[in-house]
Amino acid sequence: MWLFSKNIDLSTLFAPVWAIWIILFLLPNSILTINTPLWVWVVFVLLIDVSHVWSTIFRTYFDKEERRNHSKILWIIPLASFIILFTIASESSMWFWRILAYLAVFHFMKQQYGFFALYSIPTKAKQAKRLLPDKVVLYFSMLFPVIYWHFHARDFNWFVNNDFFHFANSFNEMWSFLIPIYFLVILGWLLEEFFLIRGNKIRFSLGRILWLLTTAANWYIGIIYFNSDLTFTTTNIIAHGVPYFVLIIYYQNSKPKKAKTKYLPYVFAATVLLGSFAFAFSEEFFWNLLFNQDKGGVFGNFFDYPEVSNPILVAFFLALLTLPQVVHYVLDGFIWKVNAKNPHLKEMLKPQNG
């Protein structure tokens, strides 16, 4: 069983992740250890990561029906988020980025589980009793590499240096024991899955199995196997941003419309991609203008950059520029729930066998 269709799932949810693995394994260590080049930042961070955040507006604010269904949270969440972000940034920029980093990790994990849960609905997997529960194993597959990160120095970070807590690793021998257990847990889940399928306790879904295995492999490769900013950036963003774009476009195009043409789905997809990029470009322009000032090759150096040094202004702009990201995190918890507020979601999630 597939979420969208066999061709769409394999070509957009899985193939990009698998392709990036192949490329990374073929690259020499001398390239993997360099700082992330500007063109990689443009393709992965700007075009995919930041852009996918902005694609949420096509699912919410730019859709009349969705605005009506979610009228309260679409205004309460941005206002409350800005107040909280500004308050934290006013107290400590370090804690601002630390809290944001852990929130982002939770969001990335939650999305992976969200897709897995959607794959699991038609299989009746939630009704099956397991020694290794789905939810536990999927979160374990992502939490283990993140915990490893806290005890081992990595050549990358989530947002800024030291945004994660780091602990002294005085028990290296323990990790040589824990890593094989990590793989045994994943293997145990896979074997149990096949036994349940064979016993007709759950229905077979190749998409569901591939999603868990791909998620586990991606987090292990990106965080533990490679110690590379380039690897972490590319694997993390591809696995998170591309599926979200597909979900937004597929959902909006699956809604009933009064008039359809065979070109309309492609027009909407282009609108989402180009519109999201335009907003992302604008956001990153102001990040570069006010804080980073290191991407003149992308945004140009047409005038002297203003220096933001006033603590209140720094907190204000930090809160303002991270607001789209945080709103995206929080809104996702509401707009993808199968309930009366999202009447078209259940129709979109009908299992696809082909």
Range from 67-81, 169-183, 220-234 carrying the lowest mean pLDDT: 169-183
Among 87, 80, 104, 159, which Cα is nearest to 315's? 87
Kindly report, residue by residue over 255-273, the tens digit of the pLDDT: 876 544 555 778 889 999 9
SS (H, E, C) 168-184: CCCCHHHHHHHHHHHHH
Instruction: Report d(CA 17, CA 68) in Å as an integer.
Output: 36
Within 8 A by CB and 6+ apart from 245, the residues are: 48, 51, 52, 55, 272, 273, 276
Check residue 263 and give its pLDDT.
Answer: 53
Tell me what the mean pLDDT of segment 187-194 comes to. 96
Tell me the three state secondary structure of residue 270.
Answer: helix
Are 249 and 272 within 8 A, CB to CB? yes
Tell me what the mean pLDDT of segment 317-335 comes to. 96
Q: Which residues pair with 352 in a beta bridge?
A: 2
Instruction: Report d(CA 5, CA 9) in Å as an integer.
Output: 6
Instruction: Report d(CA 241, CA 104) in Å as an integer.
Output: 13
- pTM recorded for the entire structure: 0.93
Q: Which two tokens stand for residue 239?
A: 């696995």
- The residue type found at 340 is A
Tell me the three state secondary structure of residue 2.
Answer: strand
pLDDT at 140 over 60: yes
∠ CA 216-220-221, nearest 5°, is 115
What ranges make up the beta strands (E) of 149-214?
A: none
Confidence of residue 120 (pLDDT cuts 50, 70, 90): confident
Q: Which two tokens stand for residue 7?
A: 């061709």
Are 124 and 204 within 8 A, CB to CB? no
pLDDT at 294 over 70: yes
∠ CA 222-226-230, nearest 5°, is 70
pLDDT at 352 over 60: yes
Range from 34-38, 64-68, 168-172, 302-306 carrying the lowest mean pLDDT: 302-306
pLDDT at 286 over 70: yes
Confidence of residue 173 (pLDDT cuts 50, 70, 90): confident
pLDDT at 194 over 80: yes
Helix (H) or strand (E) holding 341: none
